[in-house]
Amino acid sequence: MDDEHRTIFQATGELQNALHNDAPLFEVQEILHRLISIVEDHFAHEEKLMRGAHYASFDWHRQQHNTARKRLRRYAPLIEAGDHQAGTELTEFLTGWLEDHTSVTDRMLGAHLRNQERSFIR
Ligand SMILES: [Fe+2]
């Protein structure tokens, strides 16, 4: 899970740099597509784990994913079309969201999953 977070942080940073350096649009689009697909895969992965573990805070956790999904859906077409400002806003949003989400929400899930593993006593 931590590796997945790292790749999301990295891709967000890449997008930020590309925008900052006025990279060609196709490059920005390539990074954006990659970012969206790793975020979607990561959310799907976590949600599958939560379902499997009958995680009590599933709805709360998924709501936070949905906030990010909504933001990505709204901003992606603008960025695709070359809206620089939208790109900057999205990377700022994602940076803050990721910090909050990984520092609290994902850690709680990690602790839950680890505890569940430890509770299996032969
Ligand atoms: Fe999560």
- pTM comes to 0.90
Q: Ligand 1 center to residue 12 CA distance, Å?
A: 16
Q: Ligand 1 center to residue 22 CA distance, Å?
A: 31
Q: Ligand 1 center to residue 21 CA distance, Å?
A: 30
Cβ-based neighbours of 87, under 8 Å, separated by 6 or more: 15, 19, 28, 32, 75, 78, 79
Yes or no: say if 76 and 36 are a contact pair by the CB < 8 Å rule.
yes
Q: What is the pLDDT along the chain (122 residues), one digit of tens a residue?
A: 778 889 999 999 999 999 999 999 999 999 999 999 999 999 999 999 999 999 999 999 999 999 999 999 999 999 999 999 999 999 999 999 999 999 999 999 999 999 998 988 77
Q: Ligand 1 center to residue 101 CA distance, Å?
A: 6
Q: Ligand 1 center to residue 56 CA distance, Å?
A: 14
Alpha helix (H) residue ranges in the chain: 2-20, 25-52, 58-80, 84-100, 106-118
